[in-house]
Structure formats: structure tokens, C-alpha cells
Amino acid sequence: MKTYIWTAPTRIFHWLLAIGFTVAFILGDFDNLSNLHFAFGAFVGVLLFFRILFGLFGPTYSAFKDFQIGLKSQREFIHSFFSKGKIFAGHNPVASV
């Protein structure tokens, strides 16, 4: 049986953020579609607001308190990256920064 680390809300957030940012970026080149550009920008802003809430109150791997941002963790990750050592579940220390 396959075990998923990322919850459904985290996966949905990720794809909606990618789509929203891409569409807003593309629509930025068209002056006649500026209302849609602003709407998608607001959509991305709302997504980020809810991600912050999810990071404060969400499950283990999505919570900010699970992020390993210390220098010791960074060195350990870089060392294990080249030696195929430790496997990091969730955010690795570099991604946590």
C-alpha cells in the first residue's frame, strides 16, 4: 500500500498556486485582460493566506514547525545529498528555507 506524505489540501494548493501564478503571469502581457490578471493575482493571494493558516495549524508535514531550517540540518542535508545517506520525509532542510 502506498503512503502519501502530502495531504490532499496541500496537493490541491500546490496545483492551484502553479496554475494561478502562470495564468496571472501570462495575462500580464495583455492590457485588455487586466481585470482577469488582477483577479488571478487576488486568487493567488488568497491561496497564500490559507497556506499560511495551514502551515500554522495543519498536519505534521505541512506545518511550519516541522521545517528544519537550522545550519546543522542544512549541513547534514548537503552531506547526505552527495553520499545518498539520510532520506528526508516532507520538506528537506533546503526546501524549508
In tens, the pLDDT along 44-95 reads 999 999 988 888 887 777 777 777 777 887 887 777 777 776 777 777 777 6
Q: Going by C-beta distance under 8 Å and a sequence separation of 6 or more, which residues neighbour residue 50?
A: 13
How many C-beta neighbours within 10 Å does residue 46 have? 12
C-alpha cell at 11: 496537493
C-alpha cell at 88: 528526508
pLDDT score at 67: 74
C-alpha cell at 81: 545529498
Smallest CA-to-CA distance from 79 within 95, 94, 97, 64 is with 94
CB 56 within 8 A of CB 64: yes
pLDDT score at 54: 85
pLDDT score at 95: 67
